[in-house]
Structure formats: structure tokens, C-alpha cells
Structure 1
Amino acid sequence: MNQRQRKKLSRDLLEAIQIGDTARVKALLRAGADPERGDREGTTPLYAASVSGEAEIARLLLMAGASPDTESRGLGSEGTPLCAAACWGHTETVRALLAHGADPNRREDQGKGRSPLEWAGNGPDPETAALLTTVGAPARLG
């Protein structure tokens, strides 16, 4: 597959994630879309799925080889997938990420930013914070 084809698959993958098209995501991954490749700005597919609460799509990306702890660098979409899901209270997505090895203690910005629990503590769903505490995230919400 040439560079142009890889770019198109990646662009199509991010578009399918943005609209929540699980069937299209499956097809694109089967066709060879890279689950780790970010867009021009650096937004990763797993971050895009996580911030949108697309738990099933996040699972597909993780099974296809996306790293659960890779930080996204996109404009307005910086951070880890787990922090993104925790921030918005997407508990099912948090569960999927944790099941695939996401570190509940990993802080964003190369360890200098907020933790998933800190994001969850300010988020709309207290169940997300409780889940993170249960799996070993420090209880302090500082």
C-alpha cells in the first residue's frame, strides 16, 4: 500500500469515528487503516473515539493494535484516550480502555498534566471516578 492510500484510509477512519459508523470503522481496519495514525494535527483515532464515548469503536481500535496510552497531539484534542473518556464521563469507554491496559495513573502532557481521575472528578458522571478509584487510581482529586 502506498503513502497516498494509507493517508486516505486514515482520513476515512477518522471521519467514520466522528460519525460513529462502527461498520465503516471495521471495514477500514480490515482494509489496512492504521489504528495509531493521527491526522495532520496529530489527533489519534483512539482519542477521537474516546472523547466521543464510542466504546465499541474504541474496542475495535484497541483490538487492531492501538495503544491505550498514546497521547493525541491534535489542536483541541490533546491528551490520552483515558483522560478524554474520563473527562466526559464515558464510563463504558473507560472500561474498554482499562480492559486493554490503559494506565489509570498516567497523567497527560508527559506526566505533567492531569490524571484520568482528576478529569473524572470534574466530569458529569461520578461512576467514572468511582471506577478509576476501584482500579487503583489515587483517591486524591487535587
Structure 2
Amino acid sequence: MNNRRRKKLAWRLVWAARLGDTAEVRALLRVGAPAQAYDSEGSTPLYAASVHGDAVAVRLLLAAGALPDSESGDGSEGTPLCGAACWGHAGAVRELLGYGADPRLREDGGSGRSPLEWARTGPYPETVRLLEEAGA
């Protein structure tokens, strides 16, 4: 696959994940979109799906090779686990932990908040419990 096509598929995959279009995520992965991709702003599809709370898309991306602990964006976004925990998306948190996401990893290169700190900012007892049980 040439570089131009790869970039286009990566961009489309990030947007499909951001919009919660699981069917499109599945279709793009099937035609060769790279699961560990970045759009022009540095966002990853896994981060986008995690923030959206789409546990199915998170699972699809992880199974296709997306790295569970890779940071997204220009320093303004963070890790997929922090993104999911911030909004209390327990299903996405469960998938990320199941694929080895580090519950103690702080965002912003280690200087930002942890997933547990993010989960505690809202009324998300199930997300807090999942992270604590994982060793956060």
C-alpha cells in the first residue's frame, strides 16, 4: 500500500472512531487501514474510540494491533485509558485493561493525570473500581 493511501485510510479510521461508526471502523480495518495510525493532528483511532466510549471499536482496534498505551495528539489529548476513564466509559476501560493498558500510566509523557485520577473527577464508581482492581 502506498503512503498516500495509507494516510487517507488512517485519517478515515480516526474519523470513523471519533464518530462512533463501528461498522466503518471494521470495514476500514478489513481493507488495510493501519490500526496504529495518526491523523494530521496526531490523534489515534484508539484514543478517539476510547473517548467516545465505543468498546466494540476499541476491541477491534486493539485486536488489529493498536497499542493500548500510545499517547494521542499534540500533548493535549493523552492515553486511551485516560480518555475513557475521564468520561467513565467502563466498557472501553475494560477492553483497554484486557489488552494490557497500564492503569498507572500518567498522560503527557508521565507528568499528567493518571486514569484513576480522571475517573475520580466524575461520578464513575464502576470505572474507579475497574482501575483499582487493575492495580491503579
| Aligned-CA RMSD value | 1.2
Q: Which has the higher strand share?
A: 1
Equivalence for 2:125: 126
Aligned partners of 1:121 and 1:57: how far apart in 2?
Answer: 24
Question: In 2, Cα distance between the equivalents of 1:126 and 1:89?
Answer: 8
Q: CA deviation at 1:23?
A: 1.6
- Match of 2:65, SS state, is coil
Aligned length: 136
The Cα offsets for residues 40-74 of structure 1, whole Å up to 9 and x where unpaired, read as 11011100000110110000000000000000024
Residue equivalent to 1:63: 63
Pairwise CA distance, 1:130 = 1.3
Structure 1: give runs of 5+ residues left out of the alignment.
Answer: 138-142
Q: What pairs with 1:13-52 in structure 2 (closer than 5 Å)?
A: 13-52=13-52
Determine the C-alpha separation between the residues in 2 that align with 1:134 and 1:121: 14
Q: Hey, what's the Cα distance between the residues in 1 that align with 2:51 and 2:44?
A: 11
AA of the residue aligned to 1:124: P
Higher mean displacement: 102-111 or 16-25 = 16-25
Q: 1:123 Cα deviation (Å)?
A: 2.2
Give, in angstroms, the shift of residue 18 of structure 1: 2.2
The residue type equivalent to 1:122 in the other structure is T
Q: Which residue of 2 aligns with 1:140?
A: none
Identity of aligned residues (%): 62
TM-score of the pair, normalised by structure 2: 0.95
Check if 1:53 corresponds to 2:63. no
* Partner residue in 1 for 2:89: 90
Structure 1 stretch displaced more, 60-69 or 105-114: 105-114
Gaps of 5+ in 2: none
Does the Cα contact within 8 Å between 1:86 and 1:123 map onto a contact in 2?
A: no
Deviates more, 1:56-65 or 1:5-14: 5-14
Q: TM-score, normalised by structure 1?
A: 0.91
Q: Which amino acid aligns with 2:84?
A: A
Separation in structure 2 between the aligned mates of residue 15 and residue 114 of structure 1, nearest angstrom: 26
Which amino acid counterpart does residue 24 of structure 1 have in structure 2?
E
Comparing 96-105 with 25-34, which one deviates more in the overlay? 25-34
- Answer whether contact 1:88 1:124 (CA < 8 A) is retained: no
Instruction: Name the structure 1 match of 2:98.
Output: 99
